[in-house]
């Protein structure tokens, strides 16, 4: 399906809320179900990625009653999961594939993890190596999925220095480490998302965090009700749309404001955005609050490689915003963008060329010369089947007085099923 987008050219004053954060949602099912017992998950998103995790956990024997945005979970506990499975389908979700691999290896379960065409191109050697060091028996061709996991003796905890900045890899090792004999300690080069650590701590696990070192061991945990705050990664696109608009504002309530996820907002503030956010509550260790964003004139900045792991999903959107800023914006250390649902470096570059925007790049560096202007040309955007590329350039359409067409819009269902409802605040939308 293609969508055709044109700006409404009217002032926007809206109050919004979003479905639950995708990263946390995966973990409410995978980590939450390690304990035997019943619990409720509130504000669970209906994105395809999260439903892939939900279906995998059902195959393990977890009873999940999905009632709209609420889920009732009854888990037999990790000791009583189904131990012989045929195949688990992770769909397009790298989080599902990598975290489930740590779970299956730690629970000593026979299974094959597979996924769609896009997921089959994403690197899995980064989890195979540490899990194998712990004693897991994992086989694959070319370090890609499908991954075959065979029953083995119990895993043994390891000390592991992360060669790449990846919350998914870290989480896979921590889940396996919780199920292993002895301590597992991970040392990060740069801080990455810490939802796994926060959830283990909220459930009562024996986990210790000192700066960039995280240690975990098997311990008693209890099932616990969980509320998932609104997805700040989905909100990022609407925040960008209002920044690019004229004389408009939005307020977003009950949104995730985790310190390592709000780096996107902090970068926008450095760019001169008229944004305010405030933490109003903390639930299971996760900070929640509101964001107020208003139309803004932005300026270019330099973004160092140390920050990249905490804005990895927002870089396409930040690149678009940089194109309509005054001056030069530089992104350093962006090589992980090659290993997402698409090669996002090349996807951004090709769509910038189609829009007549200025960008130069290497595998590790991207430089954008911005111009605070409006476009006036018909633009055809290739999504490359990547939800974040499609959504980022949909937000760009606010600055194009002519028609912007985005192909393969259905890929946005991976993370943001009702995105068109939100974008309709800013854009006239037709589908074909």
CB neighbour class for 50 (10 Å; exposed up to 12, middle 13-18, buried from 19): buried
Report the distance separating Cα 150 and Cα 172, nearest Å.
17
Q: Is 190 left (phi over 0), alpha (psi -120 to 50) or beta?
A: beta
CB 344 within 8 A of CB 316: yes
- Alpha-carbon span 322 to 361, nearest angstrom: 14
Cβ neighbors of 405 (< 8 A, separation 6 or more) are 2, 3, 4, 5, 378, 379, 380, 381
**Of 313, 386, 402, 407, catalytic:** 313
Please give the torsion angle defined by the CA atoms of residues 201, 206, 209 and 213, in that order, rounded to the nearest 10 degrees.
-130
Q: How many CB atoms lie within 10 A of CB 375?
A: 19
What is the distance between the terminal CA atoms of the chain, rounded to a whole angstrom? 6
Helix axes 48-59, 22-30, angle to 10 degrees: 0
Angle of the 387-396 helix axis to the 344-355 helix axis, nearest 10: 30
Q: In whole angstroms, how far apart are CA 234 and each of 371, 399, 428?
A: 25, 19, 20
Between helix 22-30 and helix 232-244 the angle, nearest 10°, is 180
Of 303, 403, 391, nearest to 347 (Cα)? 391
- Residue 261 CA to residue 192 CA, distance in Å, equals 9
For the chain, helix, strand, coil in percent to 5 are 35, 30, 35
Do you find a cis peptide bond into 145, omega within 30 degrees of 0?
no
d(CA 403, CA 321): 19
Angle subtended by helix axes 344-355 and 315-323, to nearest 10:
20
- Nearest 5°: CA angle at 216, between 224 and 37? 25
Q: Is 49 a catalytic residue?
A: no
User: Mind telling me the catalytic residues?
Assistant: 313
């Amino acid at each position: 399906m293609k969508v055709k987008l044109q700006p409404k050219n009217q002032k926007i004053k809206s109050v919004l809320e979003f479905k639950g954060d995708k990263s946390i949602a995966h973990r409410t099912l995978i980590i939450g179900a390690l304990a035997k017992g019943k619990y409720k998950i509130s504000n669970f998103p209906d994105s395809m990625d999260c439903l892939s995790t939900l279906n995998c956990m059902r195959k393990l024997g977890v009873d999940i009653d999905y009632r709209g945005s609420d889920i009732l979970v009854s888990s037999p506990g990790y000791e009583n999961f189904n131990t012989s499975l045929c195949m688990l389908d992770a769909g397009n979700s790298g989080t599902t594939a990598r975290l489930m691999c740590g779970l299956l290896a730690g629970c000593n379960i026979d299974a094959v993890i597979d996924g769609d065409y896009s997921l089959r191109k994403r690197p899995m050697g980064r989890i195979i190596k540490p899990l194998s060091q712990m004693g897991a028996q994992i086989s694959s061709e070319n370090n890609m999925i499908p991954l075959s996991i065979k029953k083995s003796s119990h895993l043994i905890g390891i000390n592991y220095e992360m060669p790449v900045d990846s919350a998914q890899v870290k989480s896979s090792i921590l889940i396996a480490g919780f199920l292993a004999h002895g301590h597992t300690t991970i040392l990060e080069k740069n801080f990455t998302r810490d939802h796994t650590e926060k959830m283990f701590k909220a459930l009562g696990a024996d986990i210790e965090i000192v700066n960039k070192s995280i240690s975990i061991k098997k311990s008693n945990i209890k099932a616990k009700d969980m509320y998932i705050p609104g997805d700040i990664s989905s909100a990022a696109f609407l925040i960008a749309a209002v920044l690019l608009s004229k004389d408009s504002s939005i307020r977003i309530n009950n949104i995730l404001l985790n310190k390592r996820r709000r780096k996107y907002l902090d970068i926008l503030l450095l760019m001169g955005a008229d944004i305010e956010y405030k933490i109003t509550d903390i639930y299971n260790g996760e900070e929640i609050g509101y964001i107020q964003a208003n139309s803004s004139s932005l300026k270019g900045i330099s973004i160092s490689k140390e920050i990249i792991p905490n804005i990895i999903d927002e870089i396409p959107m930040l690149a678009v915003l940089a194109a309509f800023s005054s001056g030069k914006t530089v992104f350093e250390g962006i090589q992980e963008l090659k290993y997402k649902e698409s090669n996002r470096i090349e996807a951004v570059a090709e769509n910038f060329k189609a829009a007549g925007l200025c960008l130069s790049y290497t595998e590790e560096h991207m430089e954008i010369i911005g111009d605070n202007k409006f476009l006036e040309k018909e633009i055809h955007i290739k999504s490359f089947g990547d939800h974040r590329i499609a959504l980022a350039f949909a937000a760009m359409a606010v600055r194009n007085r002519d028609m912007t067409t985005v192909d393969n819009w259905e890929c946005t269902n991976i993370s943001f099923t009702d995105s068109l409802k939100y974008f309709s605040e800013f854009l006239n939308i037709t589908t074909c």
